[in-house]
Structure 1
Amino acid sequence: MKSRWDQCELDRVTADYAKAGVSADLAIRTYTTRILGQEPLLVLHGGGNTSVKTTMTDALGDEYEVLCVKGSGWDMGSIEPAGLPAVQLQPLAALARKEALSDEDLVAAQRRMLLDPYAPNPSIEAVLHAIIPHKHVDHTHANAIISLTNQPDGEAIIRELFPDTTIVPYVMPGFVLAQEVRRILDETPDAKHLILINHGIFTFNDDPRQSYDDMIAMCDAAEQRLARGNPRPFKGASLPGGAALAEIAPIVRGALARETEIEGRPDRWVLDFRTSGQIRHFVDGENVGDYAMRGNAAPDHSIRIKRFGMVTSPAGCDDFAENLKAAVAAFADEYIAYYQRQNARAGGGFKQLDPVPRIVYVPGLGLFGVGKTAKEASICADIAEATVDVITKAEGIGRFVTLSEDDLFDIEYWSLEQAKLAKAVEKPLNRQVAIVTGGASGLGRETAAMLRKEGAEVALFDIDSDAVARVAEEIGAMPVVCDVTDPSAVDAAVAKVVEAFGGVDILVSNAGAAFQGRMLEVDDAYFQKAFALNYWSHHYMARACVTVMRAQGTGGALVFNVTKQVLNPGPDFGPYGTSKSALMALVRQYAIEHGADGITANAVNADRIRTGLLTDAFVAERARARGVSSDEYMRGNLIRREVTGTDVAEAFLHLAKARKTSGAILTVDGGNVAAMVR
């Protein structure tokens, strides 16, 4: 493992923070926390913490000895000084000598000791940091250390490799761990560092560089010890020919979806796929059903990915879909049984979490992280990759073992984590994946932003590569450059979305253009261009998305952008009106043919919206022709109000959510008698 220490960068960070009034101690701690957190082999998604002991003044000017320790919710890799809340040191350390203290009372006590009452909760391991008699304390869940400790003879391996370290047997994180470390430090006050069995490593020193260097050196030594083992310890299985990710992902996503008690709404999940040489060696192993389901690398992983993942049949086998459904059902049954026996052991009162696996290992392909959002799925996939690394290296030198079922349940159903889950509120479109065509501008951009705000994972399709990249970054979407008039390009682009998120649930087919001209005056090429964009592109998009939706088996929503020309045609817009009229027929046909699949198909009919099609100059020209102002022209409807892009986006959003409406036209024009549906 290589050191990330950069003295020039540290000096720059310290100088910059000094200008903002941040002390040198806190600036240095911020920098060293970041370089630890940016190494995924050391820290993943909350799996570690750091602290520094210093002095600070509160709002009244009173000075205190404090512990600045990583706060709850902060990522070590990008932490700011605000993520290291200051806690009064002496009363915090004194907590370790109490005979008993619940985790809830510990959290409350730590909050009372904060210098800033609005600061985030200090780490649950703050007391442990407080009792270590050194200024800087670093704690990580290093993969290499865990690979060594998660062995039947893990303690002996550690003692041989690090004869001067202090070993702490596994106990539950929080107050009990602080008590155990207090007892050990009382007996060995000159401890140089701590290695926690099945948990990780603590290094500490008054010199921040020395504490960091010790962490890197010890983890590097552990990596070198593991490197002496077999890098490919698993015997490969005989597998059928592989299958494409874009074909397998929707099947996996559909199998994970389960019916809820609320009107049979499918409980969709977002996927994050990973593969590599190491992952393939792991999932393609003959005994993957054994070692992949022994347990997690680190105890805190159970909070994210349950006790273990689920192994499917090989990706290329003929009955993959049926086997997968059976595997999901078996996983759920086993999880419910596990919960019931452990809940009884723990005294009852726990609310069962959902029984859906958060990692799916697919022989012949790779693994999927599973989450309610793309971010959550990515976190699970990151942890899955770490799990593969730890188990592979552990098996290379011996046999991977993990904590008991009791210990894993106690972590997964930790009261502090249960409280966080109780406060979590899902957005209406969490778990759903949407595609918006023509997404880089106008109505497409408005609609995509609204879908994203409602919680959907959004892919923006547009032919303008620069614009789609810019807008996607602004709203947090996936940019996809695609010519929607090219069927092969459409199929490839939809496959990219499936590979990124696991599937598709919503299509807002918005791309279009107002091709003008009289029927006898436009040439065939121009007419064909109008139909290519305003009709055929919508069919290509719908066809590709419906294929995915049917593979998932959880329904879906198709929403198309038509025009008032469909109902109220006007002169000089023949290519536009006729191609959009064909689109309206297409909408109804999809509604008829795929209603039984739970897929709705609806259309939005909007008029007089300021977009790239209806520019200010065009509006002014139309207004002059009618002898009115631009404002009067835009408000030329029954309710005398201008219709905006946001109004139309809300209509798209409504139809994307509407589960019992299909084949409908939702008009958004302020009232136009000639364009009313009859």
Structure 2
Amino acid sequence: MRGRGDDATSQLLDALVHVSRTLGSDPRLVLHGGGNTSVKTTTADLTGAPQELLWIKGSGHDLAGIGPEGFAPLRLARLRALLPPTEITDLELANELRCASVDAGAPDPSVETLVHALVPHTCVLHSHADAILALTHSPDGRALVERLYGDRVVVVPYAQPGQALAAACQEAWQEQAHDGTEGIVVLDHGIFAFGDDPAQALERHTALLALADAHLAAAPALPEVPTPPAPAVDPVAVARLRSELCAVAGRPMVLTRSADEHVRRFLATPELVDATRHGLLTPDHVLWTKRLPLVGDDLAGYAAAYREYVDEHAARSGITVTPLDPAPRVVLDPALGMITAGRTAAEARATQAIYRHTMDTIAAATRLGGYRELSAEHVFDLEYWSLQQAKLHRSRPAGPLAGTVAVVTGAASGIGRAAAAALLDAGTSVVGWDLSPDVATTFDGPAWLGLQVDVTDPDAVRGALAAGVDAFGGLDILVVAAGIFPGAAHLDELEPSAWRRTMAVNVDSVAYLYGAAHPLLALAPRGGRVVVIASKNVPAPGPGAAAYSSSKAALTQLSRVAALEWAGDGIRVNMLHPDAVFDTGLWTPELLAARAEHYGMSVEEYKRRNMLHAEVTSADVGRLVVAMADDTFRCTTGAQVPIDGGNERVI
């Protein structure tokens, strides 16, 4: 990065990276891109003239894994010129921060940059520490912070990040700061600790939080409440909630359900559940959790209340806003547990993590005398802040299937794996099933859940469907790709056991799966979709493949019946007939060579022995699976589509 310059600057940045990762590794301090850190340096510019720079964390970067490239170098003098009495709008501030950078390739700087610029110390570390939020949410939070820290910190009332927070911090700094000041506590927001270098800033941050932790540890315990047993939850109930929530949101959403002991104990404590009606910990969380959770199942009432909240505060502010969707992002229901929603699986999990810390902090503040309500005005102002809206727009999920959930059988290899990969690329959250344990690690990331499943075991199928609903909330897309080819055998050589095994895997298991999956597919927010990997052997069987050809023909007929029976539920069922897909585990190099030799061809010629002379790959099949699952096939059900490069026997 330009401007990193001399060794002293490099060493200081490396030290900043180290302490930033230390903060970022502790979820009690920052979560999912929260918090920010900075150092100030004097570095020669291209002309050799000295310039003071503020290196500040880039907006949205995660402290847990940040590197030097995650910091934006800004001209410190320009930043300080933007402090009061200079008046500046939010959009002007965003532009000025961008223009203050000395590196055009650097990330956009944090919106709290001006607070870092205000503080004279070399290093500033900012976190949304749970313990600090618990103190400030107690009934007399400011007085408690002042008693606990004395004059070690400057105490600032909550103000919106950006120019307003910088102005509030500047005013409080001028009134309260002195040579020994170690930090700033912003009520309902977090803590800024600083020092002459990153190590000292981290030491002070740790020491200040230790005082808060000790105070919380000494507070009276809450009355013991027996933890109820885990509820028996019907996956269809969760899928129905998802369907209704998506209707309110106006888009497909991913839901994640939790009902562990931590959640059950919280939901069994009426005082804590009631405290959730007082709002979130800090307005910074509003884009993840909204202002309030839904307690119970009255989605219509929640949506109406959200619309009233928007109308009331838009009128107060005298602004015109485009309301965000009124669907909750957190649902607390003793019958289901805690359910969190997001546009993607990553968002749903982030919301879950944030709300778990919210529950802990609500409990901590309650032990200090009660959980004080957060101002709805502050929350609205941040939720509809132009810079927050821009961030929300930038993070809009990509892909035609964003927010949808799929189950793919046979997902650890071959066509099933390719279908899963294509769906993931299209924005789908995918539950992959396979007999191989490798399915657990076939893909990585929050949108993937790999389960070892024997599709011929009805109990395993029901359990896997339930696990997928717990992970992602429902089922929109079912891709039937699991299957076996028992090996070539003419009818007079066919073993009954091979016949039965082929039928059990390729047909019987799917008949059961259809029955188990139908109630979930019928609740898909935009209609269920089934894509069946059949075979060219259905329209054009070959000798020696009686069991395989018959099983795929039976699977096709079964799926045609499903298309007839399920159309009224908005579920479409379509079939693919691949042929000569050679990049699967079935085709070893030795087998390919032998078959090519049998036909007097090279391996490459054999791969393309179709009318179009095209090599059909599993990725080609995967792309067609996505087309059948997205709106391309919106008006089609019961179709049988070959993907074989053209076959005279089929045509």
**Is the 2:43–2:53 Cα contact (8 Å) retained in structure 1?**
yes
**Is the 2:135–2:212 Cα contact (8 Å) retained in structure 1?**
yes
| Deviation by residue 1:382-412 (Cα, 9 ceiling, x = unmatched) | 1111111111111112121233221110011
Q: Which residue pairs with 2:69 in the alignment?
A: 82
**Is the 2:122–2:196 Cα contact (8 Å) retained in structure 1?**
yes
Distance 2:229 2:614 in 1: 63
**Is the 2:52–2:77 Cα contact (8 Å) retained in structure 1?**
yes
Partner AA of 1:168 in structure 2: V
The reply on whether 1:659 has 2:649 as its aligned counterpart is no
Instruction: Map 1:101-180 to 2 at 5 A.
Output: 101-164=88-151, 165-180=153-168
Partner AA of 1:249 in structure 2: V
Partner AA of 1:308 in structure 2: L
Q: Which residue pairs with 1:7 in the alignment?
A: none
Q: Which residue pairs with 2:548 in the alignment?
A: 576
Q: Which residue pairs with 1:215 in the alignment?
A: 205
Distance 1:648 1:196 in 2: 55
**Is the 1:460–1:472 Cα contact (8 Å) retained in structure 2?**
no
Partner AA of 2:364 in structure 1: K
| Deviation by residue 1:107-153 (Cα, 9 ceiling, x = unmatched) | 21111111101211111111111111111111111111111111331
Distance 1:330 1:249 in 2: 19
Partner AA of 1:167 in structure 2: V
| Deviation by residue 1:222-268 (Cα, 9 ceiling, x = unmatched) | 1222223344359789x9993227454323212212078xxxxx722
The reply on whether 1:373 has 2:357 as its aligned counterpart is no
| Deviation by residue 1:304-351 (Cα, 9 ceiling, x = unmatched) | 211111011xxxxxxxxxxx3xx1111111111111121122222211
Partner AA of 2:34 in structure 1: G
Comparing 279-288 and 173-182, the one that deviates more? 279-288
**Is the 1:519–1:575 Cα contact (8 Å) retained in structure 2?**
no
Identity %: 37
The reply on whether 1:464 has 2:452 as its aligned counterpart is no
Residues 464 and 474 of structure 1, relative CA distance in 2, 3 Å threshold: farther
Distance 1:59 1:471 in 2: 48
2:598 to 625, 628, 638: 625
Distance 1:626 1:206 in 2: 78
Partner AA of 2:622 in structure 1: A
Residues 355 and 476 of structure 1, relative CA distance in 2, 3 Å threshold: closer
Q: Which residue pairs with 1:440 in the alignment?
A: 412
Distance 1:195 1:627 in 2: 80
Distance 1:119 1:18 in 2: 15
Which residues of structure 1 form unaligned runs of 5+?
A: 1-16, 261-265, 313-323
Partner AA of 2:211 in structure 1: A
**Is the 1:234–1:282 Cα contact (8 Å) retained in structure 2?**
no
Residues 176 and 451 of structure 1, relative CA distance in 2, 3 Å threshold: same
Partner AA of 1:419 in structure 2: A
Q: Which residue pairs with 1:671 in the alignment?
A: 646
Distance 2:316 2:103 in 1: 40
The reply on whether 1:181 has 2:169 as its aligned counterpart is yes
Shift of 1:533: 1.8
Shift of 1:183: 2.0
| Deviation by residue 1:453-495 (Cα, 9 ceiling, x = unmatched) | 11111122222213x2442239963221122222222222222
**Is the 2:280–2:358 Cα contact (8 Å) retained in structure 1?**
yes
Q: Which residue pairs with 1:318 in the alignment?
A: none
Distance 2:196 2:8 in 1: 23
Instruction: Map 1:200-239 to 2 at 5 A.
Output: 200-232=190-222
The reply on whether 1:537 has 2:537 as its aligned counterpart is no
**Is the 1:562–1:603 Cα contact (8 Å) retained in structure 2?**
yes
Q: TM-score, normalised by structure 2?
A: 0.93
Residues 18 and 281 of structure 1, relative CA distance in 2, 3 Å threshold: farther
1:94 to 74, 81, 87: 81
Residues 663 and 337 of structure 1, relative CA distance in 2, 3 Å threshold: same
Which residues of structure 2 form unaligned runs of 5+?
A: none
The reply on whether 1:64 has 2:54 as its aligned counterpart is no
Comparing 274-283 and 577-586, the one that deviates more? 274-283
Distance 1:615 1:547 in 2: 40
**Is the 1:271–1:371 Cα contact (8 Å) retained in structure 2?**
yes
Shift of 1:443: 1.2
Distance 2:224 2:467 in 1: 31
**Is the 2:307–2:326 Cα contact (8 Å) retained in structure 1?**
yes
1:426 to 394, 398, 402: 398
Q: Which residue pairs with 2:184 in the alignment?
A: 194
The reply on whether 1:495 has 2:466 as its aligned counterpart is yes
Q: Which residue pairs with 1:315 in the alignment?
A: none
Residues 491 and 59 of structure 1, relative CA distance in 2, 3 Å threshold: farther
Partner AA of 1:29 in structure 2: L
Partner SS state of residue 492, structure 2: coil
Comparing 655-664 and 35-44, the one that deviates more? 655-664
The reply on whether 1:507 has 2:491 as its aligned counterpart is no
Q: TM-score, normalised by structure 1?
A: 0.89
Shift of 1:378: 0.9
Partner AA of 1:539 in structure 2: A
**Is the 1:18–1:24 Cα contact (8 Å) retained in structure 2?**
no
Q: Which residue pairs with 2:270 in the alignment?
A: 286
Q: Which residue pairs with 1:250 in the alignment?
A: 239
Distance 2:242 2:456 in 1: 28
Comparing 581-590 and 272-281, the one that deviates more? 272-281
Distance 1:106 1:578 in 2: 69
Distance 1:636 1:56 in 2: 66
Partner SS state of residue 632, structure 1: helix
**Is the 1:145–1:201 Cα contact (8 Å) retained in structure 2?**
yes
Shift of 1:35: 0.5
Residues 353 and 269 of structure 1, relative CA distance in 2, 3 Å threshold: same
Shift of 1:279: 2.6
Distance 2:154 2:248 in 1: 50
Count of paired positions: 640
Distance 2:70 2:429 in 1: 28
Q: Which residue pairs with 2:452 in the alignment?
A: 481
Distance 1:88 1:212 in 2: 24
Distance 2:258 2:448 in 1: 20
**Is the 1:198–1:402 Cα contact (8 Å) retained in structure 2?**
no
Residues 563 and 61 of structure 1, relative CA distance in 2, 3 Å threshold: farther
The reply on whether 1:274 has 2:245 as its aligned counterpart is no
The reply on whether 1:591 has 2:563 as its aligned counterpart is yes
Shift of 1:288: 5.7
Residues 21 and 593 of structure 1, relative CA distance in 2, 3 Å threshold: farther
Residues 59 and 659 of structure 1, relative CA distance in 2, 3 Å threshold: farther
Partner SS state of residue 205, structure 2: helix
Partner AA of 1:647 in structure 2: D
Distance 1:581 1:413 in 2: 56
Comparing 136-145 and 216-225, the one that deviates more? 216-225
Shift of 1:198: 1.2
Partner AA of 2:275 in structure 1: Y
**Is the 1:530–1:575 Cα contact (8 Å) retained in structure 2?**
yes
Comparing 630-639 and 503-512, the one that deviates more? 630-639
Q: Which residue pairs with 2:295 in the alignment?
A: 311
Q: Which residue pairs with 1:636 in the alignment?
A: 609
